[in-house]
Amino acid sequence: MQDKGRYGGLDRFRLFAAFLVVAIHTSPLLSYSGDADFFLTRVLGRIAVPFFFMVTGQFVLSECLLDKACPWGRIWQYVKKTALLYGISIALYMPLGIYAGHYKNSSVSGLLRMLVFDGTFYHLWYFPACITGVLLVYLMSRFMGKNAVTVMAAGLYIVGLFGDSYFGFIKNVPVIASFYNTGFKVFSYTRNGFFLAPVFLILGMRAEEKQSSMKGTICLLGLFLSFGAMTTEAFWLKNLGVMRHDSMYLALPFVMFFLYQILLSWRWMPFRMVRTASAWVYILHPAMIVAVRAAAKALGLEALLVDNSLVHYLAVVVSSVAAAFVISLLFCGKGKEHGGRGEKGDSGRAWIELDRQALRQNVDALRKMLPESCQLMPAVKADAYGHGAMLIAKELSGMGVRAFCVACAKEGAELRQQGIKGEILILGYTHPDQFPLLSRYQLTQTVVDFSYAELLNNYGKRKHRKIPVHVGIDTGMHRLGERGENIDRICEICFMKHLAVKGLYTHLCVSDTLERAGKEYTKFQKNIFYQVIGEMEKRGLEAPKIHLLASYGVLNYPELSGDYARVGIALYGVLSTREDMEDWKGLFHPVLSLKARVAAVKDLYAGEYAGYGMAFQAERNMKIAALAIGYADGLPRSLSGGVGAVLIDGKRAPVIGRICMDQTLVDVSGISGVKTGDVAVLIGKSGEEEISACDLAEWTGTISNEILSRMGGRLRRVIS
C-alpha cells in the first residue's frame, strides 16, 4: 500500500501539464507552422488547467460526495493554502506588473476584477478560479445531490462556452449578447472559477466512482475519439472565426474524463517532489520568460534564444524546472517538519488502507485453484471481515464476481442499497419479522432446518410468491442445516410450493487441516452430503447448485468444488494463523493495512508511570508516543503491556501500559526523530518490517479472522 502507486500517474502528469502551460505562453512551434502551434497550444494545451482542477476536485472535494455535511475544515484549509500561494505570487509579480504598466490608472473595481477574476498577472487567474470554483461547488453540494450539482456545473460550462470559443454564434443575438457584454464588464473571460472550474472540479471529485468498472481499452478509445472531436471542433471554430477566446470546447470535458481514468489506472510510485515542482513551474515560468529574454539580450543571443520559438520554449522550460526543483527541495524538506514522515496517508487519526491490486491477485489465485464451473461466492459478512463490505463488494463486482454471501439480512440489504448485483446468500438466521427484506432486496435465505423451512414457506404462501433459498445440510458440524440423515425432510423442503430451492450446501468444519483425523472427518462430511444428493435424484428431484468449500476447503480440497466457493479469509490475503501463511507463502497478499497518527511525543523519566492503573513504570529515561488509536477502533486490548508492537519508520515500537479506548502508548526510544503527525503502522508494512493480522492473532491468542472482523466502524477506509 504505502509502496504501491496510488496517484503516481497523476503526479507525473502534473509536470507534463505544467510544460503545456509554458507552451501556451511561449508558442514553441510558431517559427515553424501556425497550425501546428495552434494545435499544440490551443488544443492539446487546453487539457492542462482542467487537469489541475480535476486533481483539486478529487483531493479537496471528494468527501462532499459521502454525505451532505461536507467537511468545511478541509475546504477552508485548501482555500487558505491557495490564497497564500496566490499572495506570494502577487508579490512576486508585482514588480513585473508595475513595469508592464498593469496597474496604471486602475480603479477600485478594476483592481477587484483583477484580483478576483483575471489574476494580477496573466497566468495567475488560476488561483482565484480555484478558490471560487471550490467554494461554489461546496455551496452547491450543501443544497443538492451530486447529480444535480453535476448538471448545474455542466450548465455553467455551456454558458461559459458561449462567452469563449463559441462567442461568434451569439454576439449578434440581441438579449443574449447584452447579457454576455454585461458579464464582460465584471470579468474579462468566462474561463474563470464560475464557468470553467466547477465542471472539472466535479469530474475530479467523482473520478473514483467509475474507476473499477471502466475498462482500459474503453478509456483509450474514448480518449482517442473525444480528442479527435476536440481537434476538429477547435479548427472548425477557428476557421469560422467565431472564437473570442480559446479555452473552452464542448469536447473538452469528455477528453478530460477519459484521460483522468487512464492516469488513475497507472500504478506508479507517488512522487511528491514532482507534485510541488510542477506547481512552481506554473508560478515561475512567466518570470523565467522575462529572465530568458533579458539573458539573451545581455549575451547577444536573441536570434537563437528568442527568435527561434522552440529554443525559446526549451530555455524557459529548463530554467523554470531548475528554479522549481530548488524551491520544492526546500519545501519538501520543510514538509517533513510538519509530520507525515515516510508514509503518505489519510488526514484522519487512524484509518484502514485497502490494496486493490492485492485483492485482485487473491481473486485470481483462488480462481486458478478451482475448475471453471465453480464460481467464487465471496463472504463479505462482518463488513467484509473489517475491510468495508461496500468497498470490497464493489471492487469484486468490477472483477466479475456475481455472487456474495453475508451473515444476515441487514448486511444483504445494505449491499443492495448500494447497487450490488448478483446473488446474495444469507448464511445465517433471519427473524420472521425481517422476511419482507428478503423479497424487497432479492436476497436468498439459508434454510437452517426443517421447521424454519416451514416458516419461510408459510410466509411465501401468504405473500403469493416463491422465496429463493439454499438448503443448509448439517453433515457433521452440528451448527446450522437440516441433519443429513433426514433425507425425507430434506426432500419435503425441496417440494415445498412456496420455496424456490436454488442451492444445497454444507460447511466443512476441519478443512483447515490435512491431519489424518481431519481428513477422515472431511471425507465423512462429503459422503453424507453426496448421499443426500443421490437420494434426491432417486426421488426425481433435480439437484440445485451445490457448494461445500470455504477458504481452507479451496486450499486443501479443491476437488470438492461444486458450483460455488464461499471464500472469506483467503480472499483478504490472510489465513487464520501465521503457520498457515508460511505454508501458503506468496499465494495471497494482505489487502488491509491499519495505520494511526502519532498524536504526541514526550519524555518519560526513570521511575515515572504511563497510562491507566500505573501499569507501566519506566526503568530508564525514555521517549514515548501516544497513537491516536485504541480498542474502540478494533485494536485488541490484550496487546497491552508489551504484548504488541507497532512500526514507525520501519522500526518496532512496543506497546507500553494499557491500551485505552482511543489511545495507545508506545515506546519510541529506539527510533530517532519521531514527531506528531508521523504514521504508525499497526498492521501492514513499513520499510523492511511487516506486522500481519496473523501476528496480532498469535500475540492475543486468537485467529486473524477475529482480529480483522472486529476492526471498528470508526475507522475510515481508503482503497488504492
Ligand X SMILES: *Cc1c(COP(=O)(O)O)cnc(C)c1O
Residues that bind ligand X (CB under 6 A): 379, 381, 427, 507, 550-552, 566-570
Nearest CB to ligand X, comparing residues 580 and 649: 580
Shortest Cβ 554–ligand X spacing (Å): 8
Shortest Cβ 13–ligand X spacing (Å): 40
Task: Give the whole-angstrom CA distance, residue 440 versus residue 437.
Answer: 5
* Catalytic site residue from 166, 282, 313, 381: 381
Handedness of CA 231, 237, 239, 241 (dihedral sign): negative
Active site residue 612: yes
Query: Given the C-alpha cell 498457515, which residue does it identify?
Result: 580
Task: Give the whole-angstrom CA distance, residue 287 versus residue 285.
Answer: 5
Nearest to 606 by CA among 593, 621, 594, 592: 621
Shortest Cβ 459–ligand X spacing (Å): 23
- Is residue 17 a contact partner of residue 123, using CB atoms and an 8 Å limit? no
Task: Give the whole-angstrom CA distance, residue 157 versus residue 279.
Answer: 25
Amino acid 373 reads: S
Vertex 587 angle, CA 705 and 681, to 5°: 55
Bridge partners of 690, per DSSP, are 685
CA-atom Rg of the chain in angstroms: 31
Nearest CB to ligand X, comparing residues 165 and 362: 362
Active site residue 463: no
Percentages of the chain per state (helix, strand, coil), in multiples of 5: 55, 15, 30
Shortest Cβ 221–ligand X spacing (Å): 38
Shortest Cβ 480–ligand X spacing (Å): 8
Cα-Cα-Cα-Cα dihedral of 330, 331, 334, 338, to 10°?
-170
Write the DSSP assignment of 636-674 as a string of letters. -GGGTTTT-EEEETTEEEEEES---SS-EEEE-TTSTT-
Nearest CB to ligand X, comparing residues 166 and 552: 552
Nearest CB to ligand X, comparing residues 553 and 636: 553
Helix or strand holding residue 369 (H, E): helix 356-369
Nearest CB to ligand X, comparing residues 567 and 629: 567
Nearest CB to ligand X, comparing residues 191 and 470: 470
Task: Give the whole-angstrom CA distance, residue 680 versus residue 378.
Answer: 31
Shortest Cβ 577–ligand X spacing (Å): 12
Is 344 strand, coil or helix? Answer: coil
Shortest Cβ 437–ligand X spacing (Å): 19
Task: Give the whole-angstrom CA distance, residue 259 versus residue 207.
Answer: 11
* Catalytic site residue from 32, 103, 609, 612: 612
Task: Give the whole-angstrom CA distance, residue 580 versus residue 370.
Answer: 19
Residue nearest to ligand X (CB): 568
Task: Give the whole-angstrom CA distance, residue 546 versus residue 563.
Answer: 5
Nearest CB to ligand X, comparing residues 525 and 664: 525
Residues with catalytic function? 381, 612
